[in-house]
Amino acid sequence: MPTRPPAEPGMSLDQVTTPALIVDLDALEKNIAMLADRVKGNPNGVTATPHAKAHKCVEIARMQMAAGGSRICCQNVAEAEAMVAGGISSVLLSNEIVASDKARRLAALAHKAKVGVCVDHPTQADILSAAASREGVTLDVLVEIDIGMGRCGIAPGDEAVKLAQYIAGKAGLRFAGLQAYHGGAQHLRKPEERKAAIARAAEMARTTAEMLRAAGLPCDVIAGAGTGTWENELASGIYTELQCGSYALMDADYMRNETASPFVNALFILTTVISHAAPTRAVCDAGLKSMSLESGLPLVFGRDGVTYVKATDEHGQIEIAPPGTIAIGDRLRLVPGHCDPTVNLHDWIVAARSGKVEAVWRVARGW
């Protein structure tokens, strides 16, 4: 029983079943072209490897590859499977896996596409090697180093070199370089804070790469970067791949970074006012089950005096103050606080232009 799509191509946005995830195609195309233009022809040969964890959508990934992306990053095996099934020729699982069945599924993709994966522990390498050997394929492996995020990642330097040597000796695996993503730096509000964090990260990646080369291990790839910091990684002379994800869709939280972003908001939750039982308050049908709120409440787009003040599971409470007016049945566009986990709540993306639905895309769900 797959869910019913909320719209059909050709519909007006007024006919879409709400709450619905809307992508403004003009804005999406602008964002994808903007990053591609800024990366194109850079002196260091850096490429964009856009992250599908933000949109989980093969149609958007295809647009990003057509704009010059060298591969698509994924955060889980189900995303990678969806991308390869949709014709993406090269994927990187920018994450660790330890389950044999996930390793087997990932290795199976390497019959149809180039497949990379991250490792920060020998056990992961053992499991991936066994799966790759059984499938008769080779997986490109990046050693993930902790360059300040404190999440996944082995320590830069000696430990990373030892792990890379271990990987290089495993059947079915090819050591390809370093994963050096600093997620914590993306939302530092001040540009100088983000710049300093990435300078430190780049330095750790640089010294580790030199130690790797000195140990006879080529280190072709140094991957990382996100929507908040990519200009720093691009300028570093160290990073070779930019894994920006949110840039294509954007969200209210990224808009709070203290720098004029070159990207524009392309993502909305379309919601309907279902109750208006008192003059200053109304209720819309978008709450916690259609938006992720850990990065703050959504903004109401283009409606002065109409504010989203509280979310419960299926309801959003709206306050109305002059000059705001609202009527039952009104449709509002909300800019969600955080795009990735908001997209993850939906089964479908409604792709629209000038108020008209052009396409309805499936969200690659599961793990």
Q: Can you give 207-218 as a three-state secondary structure string? A: HHHHHHHHCCCC
Nearer to its own copies, 234 or 343 (CB): 343
Q: Which is nearer to its own copies, 152 or 221 (CB)?
A: 152
Shortest Å distance, C-beta 192 to its own copies? 24
Question: Whose structure tokens read 């320590």?
Answer: 155
Amino acid 335 reads V
Instruction: Give the nearest distance from C-beta 311 to its own copies in angstroms.
Output: 8
Q: Smallest distance, Å, CB 124 to its own copies?
A: 7
Which residue pairs, CB below 8 angstroms and at least 24 apart, start in 94-102? Answer: 94/51, 94/118, 94/142, 94/179, 94/181, 94/223, 94/243, 95/152, 96/120, 96/121, 96/124, 96/144, 96/152, 97/124, 97/127, 97/128, 98/123, 98/124, 98/127, 99/127, 100/127, 100/130, 100/131, 102/77
Minimum separation from the CB atom of position 200 to its own copies (A)? 18
Q: How far is the CB of 293 from its own copies (least distance, A)?
A: 6
User: For its own copies, which is the closer residue by CB, 39 or 364?
Assistant: 364
Q: Give the burial string for 187-217 (b: 16+ CB within 10 Å, else e).
A: bbeebeebbebbeebbebbbebbebbeeeeb
Task: Give the nearest distance from C-beta 260 to its own copies in angstroms.
Answer: 25
Interatomic CA distance for residues 106 and 48, integer angstroms: 22
Rounded CA-CA distance 44/190 in Å is 26
Binding site for its own copies (CB under 8 A): 1-4, 6, 15, 17-20, 53, 75-76, 78, 82, 85, 95-99, 101-102, 120-121, 123-124, 146, 150-155, 183, 272-278, 281, 283, 285, 288-290, 292-294, 311-315, 317, 328-329, 340-341, 344-345, 347, 362, 365-367
User: Closest Cα partner for 307 from 253, 316, 337, 293?
Assistant: 316
Closer by beta carbon to its own copies, 143 or else 202: 143
Secondary structure letter of residue 113 according to DSSP: S
Residue closer to its own copies (CB basis): 58 or 238: 58
In the bound state with its own copies, the residue whose beta carbon lies nearer, of 52 and 299, is 52
- Select 33 or 99, whichever has its Cβ closest to its own copies: 99
Least separation in angstroms between residue 217's CB and its own copies is 19
Nearer to its own copies, 123 or 325 (CB): 123
Minimum distance from residue 26 beta carbon to its own copies (Å): 26
| One-letter identity of residue 245 | G
Q: Is 72 exposed, middle or buried (0-12, 13-18, 19+ CB in 10 A)?
A: buried
Question: CB of 366: closest distance to its own copies in angstroms?
Answer: 4
| Separation CA 211–CA 219 (nearest Å) | 10
| Cα–Cα dist 143/117, whole Å | 9
Q: Please say which residue, 30 or 121, places its beta carbon nearer to its own copies.
A: 121
